[in-house]
Amino acid sequence: MEELETIIMELLVNAGSARSSALTALQLARKGDFAEAEKAMEESREFVKAAHKIQTQLIGLDEGTGKLPVNLITVHSQDHLMNAMVIQDLAGDMIELYRRIPLVN
């Protein structure tokens, strides 16, 4: 059970880092620093990949049979991952808009 909690916390940390990196990318794009924004988005994508790999591992352990207990931290980690993915999608679109619109000072 303790190992499961560690795995879930790893999912949570990766998802949170993905979210933070995507928001950082958005801030960089707002300033016109598109090269650094793309680096931050790539970092965000890597964190999501790591989180998704953990999520897949958990799904495999559960085998769709309810073998794994569903507790608040599990739900919270899944919520973080979905939020990170949505923010990542929106940040990508907004960065593209910032590229098209001249920087206003």
- What are the residue numbers of the active site? 76
Answer whether 88's CB lies under 8 Å from 22's CB: yes
Answer whether 47's CB lies under 8 Å from 21's CB: yes
First to last CA, the chain: 54
Answer whether 55's CB lies under 8 Å from 81's CB: yes
